[in-house]
Amino acid sequence: MSGPTDARHQAVLTLVEILGDKKSLNYALPRHLNKLPAQQRALGKEIVFGVLRWLPKLQFQLTKLLQKPLKPKDTDIHCILLSGIYQLGYMSVGDHAAVNESVELTRKLDKVWASKLVNGVLRNFQRQREQLEQQAQQQPSAHWAHPAWFIEQIKAAWPEHWQAILDANNQHAPLWLRVNQQHQSREQYLQQLQQQGHVAHVAPFNQVGLRLEHAVDVSQLPGFENGDVSVQDAAAQLAADLLQAQAGDRVLDACAAPGGKTAHIVETQPQLAELVAIDNKPNRVALVADTLKRLNASATLITADASQPDQWWNKQPFQRILLDVPCSATGVIRRNPDIKFFRQAADIDSVVQEQQRILNNIWPLLAQGGQLVYATCSILPRENSQQIAQFLQQHPDAREIEIDAAWGQRCEHGRQILPGMNEMDGFYYAVLRKQ
Assign residue 10 the CATH number of its domain.
1.10.940.10
pLDDT in tens, 138-182: 999 999 999 999 999 999 999 999 999 999 999 999 999 999 999
Distance CA 124, CA 253 (A): 54
Distance CA 20, CA 167 (A): 27
Q: Is 238 helix (H, G, I), strand (E, B) or coil?
A: helix
**CB count, 10 Å around CB of 201?**
14
Per-residue pLDDT band for 3 (boundaries 50, 70, 90) equals: low
Q: Domain count for the chain, please give it.
A: 3
- Partners of 398 in beta bridges: 434
Which of 390, 321, 322 shows the shortest CA–CA distance to 352? Answer: 390
Per-residue pLDDT band for 306 (boundaries 50, 70, 90) equals: very high
377 catalytic residue (yes or no): yes
Cβ atoms of residues 76 and 114 within 8 Å: no
Q: What does the pLDDT average to over 304-313?
A: 95
Q: What does the pLDDT average to over 243-260?
A: 97
- Domain check: are 206 and 253 in the same one? no
Strands 415-417 and 274-279: unpaired
Tell me if 165 is assigned to some domain.
Answer: no
Percent of the chain with pLDDT over 70: 99
Distance CA 377, CA 291 (A): 20
Q: DSSP letter string over 109-177?
A: TT-GGGHHHHHHHHHHHHHHHHHHHHHHHTSHHHHHTS-HHHHHHHHHH-TTTHHHHHHHHTSPPPEEE
- Domain check: are 124 and 66 in the same one? yes
Listed residues 145, 165, 189: the one ending a domain: 145
Tell me if 412 is assigned to some domain.
Answer: yes
Cβ atoms of residues 274 and 251 within 8 Å: yes
Tell me if 244 is assigned to some domain.
Answer: yes
pLDDT the model gives residue 132? 96
- Domain check: are 213 and 308 in the same one? no
Q: What does the pLDDT average to over 89-101?
A: 90
- Domain check: are 43 and 184 in the same one? no
Burial zone of 305 (CB within 10 Å; 0-12 exposed, 13-18 middle, 19+ buried): middle
- Domain check: are 132 and 186 in the same one? no
Please give the mean pLDDT across all residues of the chain: 96
Cβ atoms of residues 376 and 384 within 8 Å: yes
pLDDT the model gives residue 1? 41
Tell me if 221 is assigned to some domain.
Answer: yes
- Domain check: are 213 and 304 in the same one? no
pTM for the model stands at: 0.94
Distance CA 54, CA 60 (A): 10
Q: What does the pLDDT average to over 299-316?
A: 96
pLDDT the model gives residue 76? 97
Per-residue pLDDT band for 92 (boundaries 50, 70, 90) equals: confident
- Domain check: are 280 and 409 in the same one? yes
Distance CA 168, CA 25 (A): 19
Tell me if 157 is assigned to some domain.
Answer: no
Q: What does the pLDDT average to over 118-127?
A: 97
- Domain check: are 209 and 273 in the same one? no
- Domain check: are 183 and 291 in the same one? no
- Domain check: are 268 and 192 in the same one? no
- Domain check: are 367 and 425 in the same one? yes
**CB count, 10 Å around CB of 396?**
8
H helical segments located in 204-259: 238-243
Listed residues 99, 130, 145: the one ending a domain: 145
Listed residues 145, 166, 201: the one ending a domain: 145
- Domain check: are 266 and 322 in the same one? yes
pLDDT in tens, 311-354: 999 999 999 999 999 999 999 999 999 999 999 999 999 999 99
CATH (domain of 221): 3.30.70.1170
Tell me if 356 is assigned to some domain.
Answer: yes
pLDDT the model gives residue 39? 85
Could you tell me the residue range of the domain that residue 181 belongs to?
175-231
CATH (domain of 249): 3.40.50.150
Tell me if 336 is assigned to some domain.
Answer: yes
Phi and psi torsions of 18, nearest 5°: -80, -55
Q: Reply yes or no on whether the pLDDT at 2 is more than 70.
A: no
